[in-house]
Chain A
Amino acid sequence: MDINESLQRAEQILSTWAPVALHPSPERVDVSLPDKWLKAAVLALRDAKWGYLSAITGMDHPGTVEPVTEEQRWQRLENEGENATGGESREGTLEVLYHFCEGAAVLTLRVSVRYSFPVLPSICGIIPAATLYERELSEMFGIRLVGTPNVDKLLLPDDWPDGVFPLRKSFHGLTEVEKSGPEVKK
């Protein structure tokens, strides 16, 4: 099937939820969605038999932290002069990319969640094969998927500490305390 035809059909199917579509390259179309419409959009794609779910990618976008001490604030004023914004902080977000493929065409649904509320609806009810991708996503990025059938560990060790997500940018290895968790018997 023609690539452009596939991409146009995808845009048409999704136009109800996301009027703006981006074309990062000729064979791709990217659509950003609010999380509440994710399931509806996936269902519409399935009903229209558009392609198959190829992968789910997680991405971490750490936020900027407001300077905490008086000294840091002064430092900032000195560095940025009059343009200093007065220490705005931006909360980090986690972005999830659902890649669908049909022939050579690749459609990406992009959904973002905030660090403080990293929750997304599961799409396993619509696409059963997504369960392994969702388990990987929640382990590596700490996103809670509501309604996913299995939340057991898939890839990380059984004694991996709770609340540590290795693919977040802030992860640089386990601390000694985390390594020798309470279960370890000497």
Chain B
Amino acid sequence: MLFTTIKGLLAHKLRLFGTALAVTLGVAFMAGTLVLTDTVTKTFDDLFGDIYKQTDVVVRGQGVFDAGRQGFGVQRGRVSESVLADVRKVPGVAEAQGTVFGSARLVGSNGEVLGNPATGAPTFGGDWTESKRLNPFRLVEGSPPAADDEVVIDAKSARDGKLAVGDTTTVLVQGPPLTVRVSGISRFGSVDSPAGATVTLFRDTVAQRLIAEPGKFDSISVAAEPGITQEQLAADVAKVLPREAQAVTGAAMTRESQDEARKSMAYFRTFMLVFAVVALLVGAFMIFNTFSITVAQRTRENGMLRALGASRRQILSSVLLEALAVGIVASLLGIVGGLGVAAGLKELLNAAGVEVPGGSVVFKPSTAVISLTVGIGVTLLAALSPARKAAKVPPIAAMQRGLVGSTGYGSRQRVYVGFGLLTLGLSTLVTGLFGSVDRPVLVVGAGVLLVFFAVSVLGRTISLPLSRLIGSPLPRLRGITGELARENAMRNPKRTAASASALMIGVGLVAFITVFMSSTIASQDRAIDQSFTGDIVVMSGGGIMGGVDPSLGKKIDALPEIAYATGVRQTFASVDGDVTFVTGVNTATAFDVVDIDPLEGVPADLSRSAIAVSKDVADKKGLAVGDALPVAFKDTGQQQLRVAMIYGQDQFVGSYLLGMPAYAANVLTPFDNEVIVKRNPEVSTQAALKAVEDASAEYAGVSVLDRDGFKEEQAALLNQMLALIYALLGLAVLIALMGIANTLALSILERTREIGLLRAVGMTRSQLRSAIRWESAIIALQGTALGVVIGLFFGWALVRALEDQGMTVFQVPYGSLLVIVVLAALAGMVAAVGPSRRAAKLDVLRAVVSE
């Protein structure tokens, strides 16, 4: 039987190629994700290995809370300067140096800030460590900072920002924009900059003042005397430390940092693998369809083999063997393709603003094992049902002519099973969304999968009426070619449904995400309309750890065109054990521009020891005004705050709100994330905007927006995300379209004589091509229609489930959905280009007389 399988495989290269490609693309995406994440992980491993190579012990603050899930690691307080002197006295300490770390944004020679702390490369500042042994940076040009206004910058920023030694430029730190002179350019170990970050290094006292706290260090690096182990030194150093500080070995620091990087990569990896799974799922449909068709086409051949004495098991294994061969070839090609995908993904992410650090490509054996296992597994599983069908062919089939397989409208049993699955899927989905379950994401995911599966089970039953409906305008529009297209799409509902189902998955997810994003944007707009009364917003662009110095807000506030300007600050904190955003506002002015709908208490109550919570949180945690709430801050550690106010609108300020006295007391790096501006009513918005823009000019990196601009800015981030998800789902859609092309090619092969007949009785080549293109369009539209309906439903369900989290509007983006439908029809026609060309080129005579 092996012999006939191999012969068959070689004889049907077209089928093999089409089928393999579906698996290849899915596997390539998966392998690409694995390679990319492994490569980035390796980059970080090396990076942290470099940083702590010469450091034996690190002294730092005790952990206050872990913001690892937010991507910011364990948050710690700083260590007092006096600790450094104590550490230096410990026997066995060769050298010890305090280091400072914080936000600093460097401006390039063109006036633009380098890096993008919100979505791209981080921007940080530090101190230039005098000790060569403990400093991971190496000067490649110039000299260390010798004066308070001198800095060393990293080589990448020097290159990107066209900055040379001796140039003066601006750095945005605490306080007004600072003019500095570049005294030196450094590399970080063997790379130009750590993970693509922009780094500005000051003298240590300057760094303390500008980016951290005076008199404090973020950590102290210690080098040991020869012959002293890291563990021993750490233990000795620990003895002289105050309670809020700890000593860890360099090796432990390396491991810890590597683990944190790995954790944040794991989120990214999971995100990407979801799309690989979707692609493989669609690929599985295509394999199932291809094998079903070829098994049906070989009914007589299999009947003959059975007549000649082949057992059912032999037929079954011959089909599975073919699937195995396809799976192996496709997976191997997929692994090779994965290397290309890794490079492509990197570009895609870079284009979407998520900077991925470079490094030599890492290909782990586990990548190969996983890719092969999944690729082959998916292929075999998808081919199992067709293989069993092949094995059921009775020997008598060899003698029967004509009828090629069943066309299958779906049995009554099948319909019952389909509806059962649909009910189960919908109830699972609803439970996940609205019920209280442990891991709602998994439950919702299972529900989604079940719904897709149920619809594809029902597919062949609904396919016939759906094809008839979709194709109904065709006979009138395209005459006989349109009618033939419709008839052909209807003649094998099972096949049409399987092709359409594959497309349905991709389109369904695209429609879902489109509906969801459009509802999110509409909800945001509504919230802005309802409770935001500011005229102008100045966005800092500095990310959560940075921002713009409050001096900007003061400067704007003083402008005659402006009534007042109020800064909004945000930080991470751990509230009652939950790591979350905490917002700080000036209670005197903020509530004039943002209506937070106070329910209990008044803004004036937000004293130095008070906190306000949203109604949702108050309800969930059972909090009332006057209750104590423990909050841990990075800089000041655990604090007991008192609930002084409960408010209803949390769209802008989040769940927790502090008055400026409490915020400033606990967050010692004062940065405004936004400055909200109310114009002088006698001045036009235009004039006020101009005045604010002029005042902000020297603060590079900020954007000054009016209300509409603010809305657009909020939508822009979501649209960027949407574009990325579209690109990733594009793969699944592409595979589905290839599936349609492959199915068409196989159907045409089956219809060779019919096509010959049509050509013989006068169908022109262009009529034939047109008929096949429209057939393809009907299949594509069928998948799209199902997908859009399912996507709309998923979108509606999720929006309703998130209603109390600010999703107040369910908005159907009719325009976008129409574009999706039209694109799908066009894509279906494009998919038919190959098969229709081949059909048109068929030799009329050969087609007519072919046996």
Do A and B share a complex?
no
